[in-house]
Amino acid sequence: MKHYRNFVNGQWVESPRTFEDISPVDGSVVATVHEADRELVDEAVKAGHRAVAGAWGQTTAAERVVFLRRIADEMDRRQADFLAAEMADTGKPLSMASVVDVPRGIANFRTFADILATAPLDGHRLDLSDGAYALNYAVRKPLGVVGVISPWNLPLLLLTWKVAPALACGNAVVVKPSEDTPGTATLLAEVMEAVGLPEGAFNLTHGFGPNSAGEFISSHPDISAITFTGESRTGTSIMHAAAEGVKPVSFELGGKNAAIIFADCDFDKMIDGMTRALFLNSGQVCLCSERVYVERPIFERFCDAIAERIKTLKIDWPQDPDTRMGPLISAKHRDKVLSYFEVARQEGATFVAGGGVPRFGDERDNGAWVEPTVITGLSDDARAVREEIFGPICHVSPFDSESEVIGRANDTRYGLAATIWTSNLGRAHRVSESMQVGISWVNTWFLRDLRTPFGGAGLSGIGREGGMHSLNFYSELTNVCIQIDQEEEG
């Protein structure tokens, strides 16, 4: 039996209270996890401040670039371990974890090393004032100790997406991964130890949200900033706690994302893209499309085609390289998704495909599996259309005009992502720019340049991450203004 311990001030720490890490594939126990109490979280925060005031705080940007690249190299060397831990925790297929999660987790460190190598962090940016008799320049400094609370759906990818830029800017971090996916965070702590990161710069605390490590971090008076990815309701709770100390926050929250499909699209390419947008990671990606609007002339064709495509999605053991869909993260989350299937039925939905639980006749029947599901026939104010489900389900409805579908797609309290499919260049620009979201894709989905701004509006979050946008959040600018005397001395 594996034991996932906390990592604080460069030391591995056990706790008297533990909980079990459960496989969503078959319900078996993956590991025993040691839950951090308030005192251990407090020690992690203190260790972080000591690191920022000491050895870690004295590093230059060039030295931090070396550390980030060492971390990436060590993760690369242990790629098989990260892959095994990611699949054990999440149940996601090898075909996804080996292409998306682990490579991207490594790439996050290399990307921010490259950005840091050329960014004006420790150097000065000179700017003459309008008066021409003063010299102004800005110095970028770390915030201090950053609380990093990461989710279960893309645990390694999203954890490193925050830790890499935070360390790049010279901060220390206190990390809390989801209680459902503690494995890769523990491996990352092993990597930090292996590369010789100064003690206290990276601290790992396991636990839950309320009355556990999540709450202890977000309410701690000496945490300098909080970055969180997860549910909008949890983000609200963290924001309340952060408000007490007026701490900066960066939130990437939920989504009820729209896909808009025009009749002039490349139909086959669109079906390929929408299959991913609907069912990647069993729909457990904040960017997945749950609301699909199809121009009326191809509405029936789309419903038939996506139902046929679902039949080709292999739902099987994650280790099978041909598997395309794994289980949901937990039995609890499966029950939530299934409850929305029932809500949709009560609201009068037509089930085009799915709507149930696959049966295998083996131990997988103890897991958290759900069929990929497509529904139609609901009004825009139905609960299944307005509330985030976060599973392999979408609602499809027809539309008749561009202005109509823009209004309907924007009629939501969320604002994370949109996907537009059309061969009309002018329409592509008009519609994508009209979406009240953080990112609009045109004729693609999930394509990301890590230097570009990423985030949401409304209930989908606060702030932007990516490239210099991340470095701007994880650092504080101090402007220095020096008066230049006009008269010659001597």
* Cβ neighbours, 10 Å, residue 356: 12
For residues 329-335, give the mean pLDDT. Answer: 98
Nearest CA among 436, 353, 325, 431 for reference residue 24:
325
Please give the DSSP secondary-structure letter assigned to residue 382.
S
Answer whether residue 490 shows pLDDT above 80: no
For residue 127, the surrounding DSSP H or E stretch is: strand 125-128
Distance CA 60, CA 122 (A): 7
- Beta strand 145-149 with 225-229: parallel, antiparallel or unpaired? parallel
What confidence tens digit (pLDDT) does each residue in 181-234 have?
Answer: 999 999 999 999 999 999 999 999 999 999 999 999 999 999 999 999 999 999
Bigger pLDDT: 425 vs 135: 425
pTM as predicted: 0.95
Answer whether residue 457 shows pLDDT above 90: yes
Bigger pLDDT: 134 vs 342: 342
H helices of 280-330, in order, are 299-311
What confidence tens digit (pLDDT) does each residue in 17-44 have?
Answer: 999 999 999 999 999 999 999 999 999 9
Task: Return the beta strands (E) in 165-255 as ranges.
Answer: 172-176, 202-204, 225-229, 249-252
Identify the band that residue 483 occupies on the pLDDT scale cut at 50, 70 and 90.
confident
Which pLDDT score, from 0 to 100, does residue 396 have?
98
To 10 degrees, the CA torsion angle through 227, 232, 238, 244? 110
Q: How far is CA 409 from CA 293, 386, 413, in A?
A: 8, 11, 11
Phi, psi values for residue 177, rounded to 5°: -75, 165
For residues 175-184, give the mean pLDDT. Answer: 98
CB 158 within 8 A of CB 151: yes
The residues assigned a catalytic role are: 252, 286
Mean pLDDT of the chain: 95
* Cβ neighbours, 10 Å, residue 426: 8
Cα radius of gyration rounded to whole Å, the chain: 24
Distance CA 376, CA 395 (A): 5
Instruction: Indicate the SS3 state at residue 221.
Output: coil
* Cβ neighbours, 10 Å, residue 220: 21
Nearest CA among 356, 393, 357, 391 for reference residue 378:
393
Identify the band that residue 488 occupies on the pLDDT scale cut at 50, 70 and 90.
low
* Cβ neighbours, 10 Å, residue 199: 20
Distance CA 19, CA 5 (A): 11
Distance CA 357, CA 463 (A): 38
Nearest CA among 475, 451, 489, 400 for reference residue 108:
451
Share above pLDDT 90 across residues of the chain, in percent, rounded to a whole number: 91
The amino acid occupying position 417 is: A
Phi, psi values for residue 226, rounded to 5°: -130, 130
Distance CA 228, CA 207 (A): 15
Distance CA 454, CA 438 (A): 6
Identify the band that residue 139 occupies on the pLDDT scale cut at 50, 70 and 90.
confident
* Cβ neighbours, 10 Å, residue 482: 9
Distance CA 308, CA 297 (A): 19
* Cβ neighbours, 10 Å, residue 2: 14
Answer whether residue 145 shows pLDDT above 70: yes
- Beta strand 257-261 with 350-353: parallel, antiparallel or unpaired? unpaired
- Beta strand 439-442 with 202-204: parallel, antiparallel or unpaired? unpaired
Answer whether residue 319 shows pLDDT above 50: yes
What confidence tens digit (pLDDT) does each residue in 42-82 have?
Answer: 999 999 999 999 999 999 999 999 999 999 999 999 999 99
Distance CA 89, CA 152 (A): 9
